[in-house]
Amino acid sequence: MNHEWYNNFVDFIQLNNQNIYNEACEYADKIEELEDCEACYGQGYVHSNDEEGNDEIQKCDECEEFESDQDAREYYRDMGFPEFSYEEELFRREEDSDA
C-alpha cells in the first residue's frame, strides 16, 4: 500500500470524524485482547453452573466483555441459543475441532 494514500486516508477520517480513527483502534485492540482470552476463547461468556448445580451462562471474569451475567445470558440467547446445554456445547466444539 502506498504510504501517501494511507496518510491521505487517515487525514480524511480525522477531518470528518476526529474520533472514528481512535475508536476503530480501540475496537481492534479490544477484539484482539478478547480473542486471546483463554478462559472464554473470545466469546465473552463461559458455561458454568449456579449455586444449585444447574447449567448457566456467566460473564467471563477474565476479559470482562459483559458487565453482568445477565448481559452475557441475553447475548447468548440473542445469538440463537435459547437454552444452555453444556454437553451439546462440548459436542459442538469437538465437531468443530475435527473439521
Q: What is the mean pLDDT of residues 78-90?
A: 62
Tally of CB atoms within 10 A around 44: 19
What are the extents of the domains in the chain? Answer: 3-35, 45-98
Q: Residue 85: pLDDT above 90?
A: no
Integer angstrom CA distances of residue 21 from 12, 26, 40: 10, 9, 28
Q: Residue 96: pLDDT above 60?
A: yes
Q: Which three cell numbers stand for residue 8?
A: 491521505
Buried residues in 17-28 as b, exposed as e (16+ CB within 10 A): eeeeeeeeeeee
pLDDT tens-place string over residues 48-68: 888 888 888 999 998 888 999
Q: What is the mean pLDDT of residues 16-22?
A: 80
